[in-house]
Amino acid sequence: MRSDVAKLLFAIVLDILDFTIGRLTGLGTVVDIIFAGVAYLLWGRSGLIQLWEVLDPTDQLDGFVPTMTLIALANMRRNKKKVRLEKRT
């Protein structure tokens, strides 16, 4: 559970960076691709959802959606359900 919280905090930091640095012209798409790789390393295939931000070439819309944080929260919920089901059996 601690690793999930650490990943969530890391995701929040990355989303803040995406909102600031990621909105600079020319860097936004590069940052989005790098963050997609980081998300994949953290959460596996579900981290590839981060790639939707590459579709916004203006980097204006994706800065307001905390994608990494949402992925972290979804994975925390999935892991909590998995633990609950394992305890039942």
Domain ranges of the chain: 2-88
Tokens 């059996």 appear where?
89
Average pLDDT of the chain? 88
Confidence of residue 89 (pLDDT cuts 50, 70, 90): low
Most confident range, picked from 23-32, 48-57, 66-75? 66-75
